[in-house]
Amino acid sequence: MDRIVSRCSLPRLSSGRVAMACLTGLVCLVGAGWSASADAQTWTPPADNERCPSRWGAGDERGSANHMGAATIMRAAQLIRAGEFADLGHALNGSIPLGARHFDVYMKPTFMNPEPNRRGSNEELVVAEIGQVGTQFDGFSHQTIGGSLYNCFEVAGTMGRDGFSRLGVENVGTLMTRGVLLDIAGLKGVDMLPVDYEITAADLEAELARHELTIEPGDAVIINTGWGVFWYEDPERFMASAPGIGIGAAEWLVSRDPMLVGADNQAVEMQPNPDPELNLPVHQIMLVVNGVHLLERLKLDELVGSGVHEFALVVQPLKIEGATGSTVAPTAIW
């Protein structure tokens, strides 16, 4: 059996108490039907001639964002019945989980205009890796297989001092589509998955069956691991090893043709991968091979607490020309 934090002993603890329970080893034995880690799966990046041109055509820069259109908007809009919503983005500040990245805000001195009405003006200077901090949307220039990007654009021919000439996040635009929440922590009866838990395709299928849902082409698949509690309680822990989807689950998701895949953990996928010879292969599977965007570090507590599993999702990456991604503030509406 597995050692996990379970609702059988810690019923709906506050985020701080759950985090403390995990860190101090407060556990209970639950469910004999699941294991903390799937068998390691190997994966070899396909050759360029096996993955290019993209299914969307030679020269395409939008990948799964090509799903965006009237049909996805109208289908999503039909899910808005109560007029309720949940913000899925974390606030940005210098104390968020950053790892080696930076986010710094410097206030500019108040400027007082000379007119008699004494209008003052306040501004700030933000120094940050703005494409890769906070709740974050991965663009296609973010990841490579060797020196090759999505649709076989080459880093050497597209990356310049001021950004990428192809595959910049400005190509994405507004995305509005049906969102499907797969609460894998809830499926397992726990507040958060164990650190070494690899989410499998069978887990995803079981969660869909539990709520009588299916994934349709162009959907946004949002996965809850429960790991988001560490965003506030222990930023260093949040950035370290974490549960997430594995290779099999990623390939299963790709076969469902989603617009994007997101989660509440650092990398969407399990990190590190069970195969020590692989480094974040799901990023390559999604972004480089299949052109499916990733949405990382989502704030899912409100959405999970609402009990809603089908909703309209709106995401608007910043139009930073040539950037590898964008900090975002997505919204789930139902």
Q: Which domains does the chain have, with CATH numbers?
A: 38-94+129-333 (3.50.30.50)
Q: By C-alpha distance, which of 212, 216, 198 is closest to 263? A: 198
> What confidence score (pLDDT) does residue 15 get?
38
pTM of the model: 0.86
Residues with pLDDT less than 70, the chain: 1-40
> What confidence score (pLDDT) does residue 16 get?
40
Instruction: Determine how many CB atoms are found less than 10 A away from the CB of residue 42.
Output: 11
Which residue's structure tokens are 């950053």?
A: 98
Instruction: Determine how many CB atoms are found less than 10 A away from the CB of residue 77.
Output: 12
Query: Is 8 in contact with 30 (CB distance < 8 Å)?
Result: yes
pLDDT in tens, 122-139: 999 999 888 898 999 999
DSSP 8-state class, residue 36: S
Measured between alpha carbons, how far is 302 from 263 in angstroms, rounded to an integer? 14
pLDDT in tens, 103-120: 988 999 888 999 999 999
Measured between alpha carbons, how far is 192 from 237 in angstroms, rounded to an integer? 13
Q: Please, what is the Cα angle at 310 between 70 and 252, to 5 degrees?
A: 85
> What confidence score (pLDDT) does residue 20 get?
38
Measured between alpha carbons, how far is 230 from 90 in angstroms, rounded to an integer? 12
Query: Is 127 in contact with 98 (CB distance < 8 Å)?
Result: no
Report CA torsion sign: 76, 66, 89, 230: positive
Instruction: Determine how many CB atoms are found less than 10 A away from the CB of residue 188.
Output: 26
> What confidence score (pLDDT) does residue 40 get?
61
> What confidence score (pLDDT) does residue 44 get?
94
Report CA torsion sign: 209, 137, 67, 301: positive
> What confidence score (pLDDT) does residue 39 get?
57
By three-state DSSP, how is residue 122 classified? strand
The contacts found for 39-44 with CB under 8 angstroms, 24 or more apart, are 39/274, 40/273, 40/274, 40/275, 41/246, 41/247, 41/248, 41/274, 41/275, 42/275, 42/277, 42/278, 43/247, 43/275, 43/278, 43/281, 43/285
Q: By C-alpha distance, which of 323, 230, 206, 284 is closest to 19? A: 230
Query: At how many degrees (to 10) do helices 247-255 and 201-210 cross?
Result: 50
> What confidence score (pLDDT) does residue 129 get?
87
Measured between alpha carbons, how far is 330 from 311 in angstroms, rounded to an integer? 12
Measured between alpha carbons, how far is 189 from 203 in angstroms, rounded to an integer? 13
